[in-house]
Amino acid sequence: MANAIELIGITKRFPGVIANDNVNLAVEKGEIHAVCGENGAGKSTLMKILYGMQPPDEGRILVNDEVVTLASPSDAIDLGIGMVHQHFMLADQLTVMENVILGSEPMKHGLIDFDGARTHLKAVAESYGLSIDPDDLVESLEVGERQRVEIIKVLYRGAEVLILDEPTAVLVPQEVEELFNNMRDLKAGGASIIFIDHKLDEVLEIADTITVIRQGPTVATVKPGDVTAHELAELMVGSELPSPQTTASTVTDEVTLEVEDLTVLDVDDRAVVDYVSLKVRRGEILGIAGVEGNGQTELINAITGTEPQASGTLTLLGVDITHADVGTRREAGLAYVPMDRHQEGLLLEAPLWENTALGHHTRPPFAKGIWFDRDGARQRTEEIRRDFDVRTPNVEVPAHALSGGNQQKLIIGKEMSSDPKLLIAAHPTRGIDVGAQAAVWQDIRDARAKGLATLLISADLDELIGLSDTIVVMLRGRLVATLDPATITPRDLGAYMTGVAVAQEAS
């Protein structure tokens, strides 16, 4: 079959690193082609080149067997290439239709042709089996529905080749099944899909062809039927597929964190955290499951002190911290791995040694009296680099120069090195490869064995089940179920998260 896209000998260099090294990728028309590789392998750079966001230093790009030059995303869109980013780019206050046409509004007699847009949108959605109400507000949609809007948005613009970047990262199993059905419908309609994913079982389920990139070049192109998940992991990182499974219980009776009747209100005085009570004990990992947007973020923010609470109490190691500021909570032993490492965890332009001081700059080794200790910060960063296997040429490089996995290991290293009593870990392995995943899981397990209490929030249900001692489910701001990880399956957990199992139990 003819190729929709072909990349030949693509090379991209940045100062001190070769991101892509003679990469070859051929995507046939009407196929789902997965691109796998650990963080820093060059996948994102390759997709940016294909989407016109960056030019290659060497190599050729062919679209429908013709050599093309892509100077911008507009060039890519004009050639029928669309990209759905991992982090959705939607305006919550606008309707589905307004989001879809935003930036390419059809005009008629000097006015936006909403009737024409609606007709076109419905035709696109129906032809690919993507049901959605054009008049729904985006803020009212579930995560899977928002992703559908993003896909419709690129199809509306005429995309025949779709790049999906980590599309299952925030979906529960039922939503993943629905996405895969949508992808199969897109394929049946003639679309070609380039699918980037770290979850190898998903890759093996949905892909027609898999290309593996490792440290710059392509190392293999295989068919799913010819390779196992373990073999695929070895191609990616040179090791077997890791497991998040914990060992024997280390839970004690000593309560580290107690949350009682916590309520958080949004700007409209609606309860987004609704009388939540929980306890996390020394040596315990308490997992919180929930579809994003059900109050987990506000719960975390209230515990860390970055968002005000309307009522309730917080106790850390027997001390009331309900009204304590962020710094006081940190000094009392609270560590935090944020859900968005770029927005909350790092100063991307600052060197690594400055980043390791964030949140800890008032205490040794980062401080001598009232003065900031640069030498102490550099020394601690070298220790973190060694102990947590942060792969970097030196501690002077800016944080943005690290791969996602190494950025995450740096954040976890600086938090774990502060001798915390409570760790709040929000999506600790989101967007990182299997090698970095294994390292993060082991760090959390090791800390648990030493008595650290951990509150774990994750959209990776295998991770949540594997690491947690107990799982609670958060739905519309309330805790609606307490589950045993030893007996719950990802599918059943997804049923609780979406409210299906809760409704069945209530009826």
Where residue 238 falls among pLDDT bands split at 50, 70, 90? low
Return the half-sphere exposure (C-beta side, CA atoms, 13 A cut-off) of residue 51: 18
Assigned token pair, 8:
């030949």
Among the CATH numbers 3.30.420.40, 3.30.1360.230, 3.40.50.300, 3.10.20.30, which is that of 3-237? 3.40.50.300
Where residue 404 falls among pLDDT bands split at 50, 70, 90? confident
Q: Is the pLDDT of residue 507 over 60?
A: no
User: CA-to-CA distance for 338 and 36, rounded, in angstroms?
Assistant: 25
Region class of 30: left (phi > 0), else alpha (psi between -120 and 50), else beta: left
Tell me if 3-237 shares its fold with 255-506. Answer: yes
Residues 304-341 have pLDDT tens digits of 999 999 999 999 999 999 999 999 999 999 999 998 88
Q: Is the pLDDT of residue 171 over 80?
A: no
Residues 273, 298 contacting (CB under 8 angstroms):
yes
Q: Is 181 exposed, middle or buried (0-12, 13-18, 19+ CB in 10 A)?
A: exposed
Where residue 9 falls among pLDDT bands split at 50, 70, 90? very high
Q: What is the mean pLDDT of residues 113-122?
A: 86
Residues 430-489 have pLDDT tens digits of 877 777 788 889 889 999 999 999 999 998 888 999 999 999 999 999 999 999 999 999
Nearest-CA neighbor of 128 among 78, 85, 76, 181?
A: 181
Where residue 209 falls among pLDDT bands split at 50, 70, 90? very high
User: CA-to-CA distance for 372 and 28, rounded, in angstroms?
Assistant: 57
| Cα dihedral: 375, 381, 383, 384 (round 10) | 160
Per-position DSSP letters for 324-378, written without gaps between them: --HHHHHHTTEEEE-S-IIIII--TTSBHHHHHHTTTTTSTTSEETTEE-HHHHH
User: CA-to-CA distance for 196 and 173, rounded, in angstroms?
Assistant: 17
Where residue 79 falls among pLDDT bands split at 50, 70, 90? very high
pLDDT (0 to 100) of residue 286: 97
Residues 358-377 have pLDDT tens digits of 888 888 888 888 898 899 99
Q: Is 179 exposed, middle or buried (0-12, 13-18, 19+ CB in 10 A)?
A: buried
Q: Is the pLDDT of residue 215 over 80?
A: no
Nearest-CA neighbor of 175 among 507, 501, 495, 504?
A: 495
User: CA-to-CA distance for 449 and 429, rounded, in angstroms?
Assistant: 20
Q: Is the pLDDT of residue 63 over 90?
A: yes
In this structure, of 25-39, 384-398, 429-443, the range with the lowest mean pLDDT score is: 429-443
Q: Is 160 exposed, middle or buried (0-12, 13-18, 19+ CB in 10 A)?
A: buried
User: CA-to-CA distance for 450 and 443, rounded, in angstroms?
Assistant: 11
Report the predicted TM-score, pTM, of the whole model to 2 decimal places: 0.68
Among the CATH numbers 3.30.230.10, 3.30.1540.10, 3.40.50.300, 3.40.50.1370, which is that of 255-506? 3.40.50.300
Residues 429, 460 contacting (CB under 8 angstroms):
yes
pLDDT (0 to 100) of residue 105: 82
Q: Which residue has the higher pLDDT, 90 or 324?
A: 324
Q: Is the pLDDT of residue 39 over 80?
A: no
pLDDT (0 to 100) of residue 148: 86
pLDDT (0 to 100) of residue 40: 66
Residues 174-184 have pLDDT tens digits of 788 888 988 99
User: CA-to-CA distance for 335 and 21, rounded, in angstroms?
Assistant: 39
Residues 242-259 have pLDDT tens digits of 667 766 788 899 999 999
Domain residue extents for the chain: 3-237, 255-506
Q: Which residue has the higher pLDDT, 449 or 106?
A: 449
pLDDT (0 to 100) of residue 500: 78
pLDDT (0 to 100) of residue 1: 66
